[in-house]
Amino acid sequence: METKPYGSWPSPVDAALAAAHDGHPEWAGFVGDETWWTEPRPAEGGRRTLVRGTTGESALPGPWNVRSRVVEYGGHPWAGTVRADGRQLLVFVHFDDQRLYAYEPGGEPRPLTPPGPRWAQPQLLPDRGEVWCVLEEFTGNGPDEVRRVLAAVPLDGSAAGDRAAVRELTDGRHRFVTGPRISHDGRRAAWLAWDHPRMPWDGTELLVGEVGEDGVLHAVRTVAGGPEEAVAQVEWSADDRLLYASDRSGWWNLYRDGTSLCPREEEFAGPLWKLGQRWFAPLDNGLIAVVHGRGSTALGILDPETGEVADAAGPWTEFTPTLAVQGSRVLAVGASPRTAYEVIELDTASGRARVVGAPHQDAVDPAHYPAPQVRTFAGPGGREVHAHVYPPHHPGHCAPAGELPPYVVWAHGGPTSRVPLVLDLAIAYFTSRGIGVAEVNYGGSTGYGREYRNRLRGQWGVVDVEDCAAVALALAAEGTADRARLAIRGGSAGGWTAAASLTGTDVYACGTIAYPVLDLSTWGPGETHDFESRYLESLIGPRAEVPERYTERSPVAHADRLTVPFLLLQGLDDVICPPAQCERLLARLDGRRVPHAYLTFEGEGHGFRRAETLVRALEAELALYAQVFGLDVPGIPELELVK
């Protein structure tokens, strides 16, 4: 064991390696008996491709990019079926033009929709010769001049050049809708809807309509949900009874025709950031595959008659909301602190779970992986704050006796979200060099019930900042972290928390802020996208009632309090948190001589996807900490901090 100061340990986990493993499989599903899913390709411009399970290889070459932009965060972008002649037919949304395409393996994709509208959650109905989807269509030049309806697209391609050939199924009375789930007898459809200023985790309506002979949905009625009840997903059981996940009890639990199937203080669903996320899937035999848990999640099988859940055996401690079922088979995506996300198949008949796609392969000796600790800290007033602590770790190096390590607090985005406890080589990039990481699931995070989630109502920029600071200071007080070498980083809403922490506390010596919200007075209708344009009504308060709060909380209004070095990272194509947010902060700093670096990236939107961007961002972040904390980190480009 060689002794070297924290932050100077040589590591095999470089930025290129971390970038190559950024992202994970998503949107797994069956086409007949065959498994398919989407996978990221950071080295190919950050596109996502369709992967065929029988080969484990990309079924679509570049530049095809299977990703929807509906509500900007997108949704389920593909569907597949086996035709009567035995051939497979898939439909998918191509990111570049957002058109819907039909594809037969071995052939060339052909467009089904005209340029302009966006699509998500395609559902193939070959008997009707149609695909039913969510249609998003802009009606003007503003980001909030938009309408969304359920629509039917003909499979014969007649709508590719004729918008009139698309049949609208609903009347557009609701601002937001999810894709229709059609009953097995084909007579009814169910979907979710909500309107401004609510977000889908605040309150949604579960709608059911009758499928008329004209192919339009009639007699639409609300059967569950409301302003303070968030229904996150709806399905039909094998006998056409309505299944849905509602948080009416304070936790997202499952219901069948209004009756709770498994009342527990844990979550069987989560925040609906992407249309088509699936936390549960009914099987033909009446059982229900579920992703559930408190904090971390497990894959289980629920017996709705007894309320019992049997969890799948295996090393996975976290599952994403992308379940699919076929017969007795369940397809899921899971990971653990020692493994990245893999495509997993559970055979409910035998109880055996196995990896069937994107198998984890150790890119370096796993002895370099961090060993996370699940911790609960005391925040202001004694409230619980959940966090994952990753101490510095290297199999061949240790620090001199008496030295305390630098730590970086990671504030997750959302903010209605949480950080999963899974292997992340971006974390290993720091911990294997001797820099600790603490991921904080601050008040407002999901996975701990509605009461915990509601802590952020009207308190964004307060509770999240306080909770992150409580974790950082507790680590220093207990002798885990060096009080003088604490940093904070975050992207999107996490970028807001990082910036608000640097302007509102004296806890941190520096910070990394990526594609952030910084100015609440402008971030809303007209500047950001429609989906989140009224998000601040719950996070901050009604703008008409508390206008002063929008200024008081904004980091740009307190640029004079920003005295420590920081790194600002921004995609130039970001329509969610546009570059103007960063530019306003920098304008307020002009002449104040605060050391900082501002790196922008062409072709990047909200969240970086290209390998070269990910590498530059990680290396710049490490270079910032090296300068501020006095670390000897060889082999990374120098970061010029301007004043």
What does the DSSP assignment read for 315-374?
Answer: S--EE-SB-EEETTEEEEEEEETTEEEEEEEEETTTTEEEEEES----SS-GGGS---EE
Question: Which string of DSSP letters, residue by residue, matches 397-411?
Answer: EEPPTTPPPPEEEEE
Structure tokens at 173: 């009375």
Give the integer Cα–Cα distance in Å for 193 and 231. 9
Low-confidence ranges of the chain (pLDDT < 50): none
Residue written as token pair 């996150």: 232
- pLDDT tens digits, one per residue of 497-508: 999 999 999 999
Give the integer Cα–Cα distance in Å for 234 and 207. 10
Which are the contacts of 66, defined by CB distance < 8 A and separation ≥ 6? 38, 47, 48, 49, 50, 60, 77, 78, 92, 93, 94, 95
Integer CA distances (angstroms), 614 to 88, 491, 608, 609, 617, in order: 36, 13, 6, 7, 5
Is residue 526 helix, strand or coil? coil
Integer CA distances (angstroms), 212 to 169, 177, 191, 353, 643, in order: 10, 19, 16, 41, 66
pLDDT of residue 634: 87
- pLDDT tens digits, one per residue of 254-281: 999 999 999 999 999 999 999 999 999 9
* Range list of H helices, 442-593: 450-453, 463-477, 493-504, 536-539, 547-552, 579-589
pLDDT of residue 89: 97
pLDDT of residue 590: 85
Q: What is the 3-state secondary structure (H, E, C) of 202-248?
A: CCCEEEEEEECCCCCEEEEEEEEEECCECEEEEEECCCCCEEEEECC
pLDDT of residue 46: 94
CA-wise closest residue to 464 among 440, 436, 439? 440
Asked if 497 contacts 414 with a C-beta cutoff of 8 angstroms, the reply is no
Asked if 423 contacts 17 with a C-beta cutoff of 8 angstroms, the reply is no
Helical (H) or strand (E) element with 596: strand 596-601
pLDDT of residue 19: 95
Angle at alpha carbon of residue 328, lines to 82 and 30, rounded to 5°? 30
pLDDT of residue 94: 98
Give the integer Cα–Cα distance in Å for 384 and 351. 36
Angle at alpha carbon of residue 202, lines to 190 and 548, rounded to 5°? 145
Cross-strand pairs, 152: 132, 167
Give the integer Cα–Cα distance in Å for 169 and 181. 13
pTM for the structure as a whole: 0.96
Asked if 392 contacts 6 with a C-beta cutoff of 8 angstroms, the reply is yes
Q: Say whether domain 372-629 belongs to CATH 3.20.20.120.
A: no
Asked if 88 contacts 62 with a C-beta cutoff of 8 angstroms, the reply is no
pLDDT of residue 215: 87
CA-wise closest residue to 159 among 198, 204, 102? 102
Number of neighbours of residue 57 by Cβ within 10 angstroms: 10
The terminus-to-terminus CA distance of the chain in angstroms comes to: 41
What residue type is assigned to position 134 of the chain?
Answer: V
Integer CA distances (angstroms), 142 to 47, 115, 145, 147, 345, in order: 27, 18, 5, 12, 44
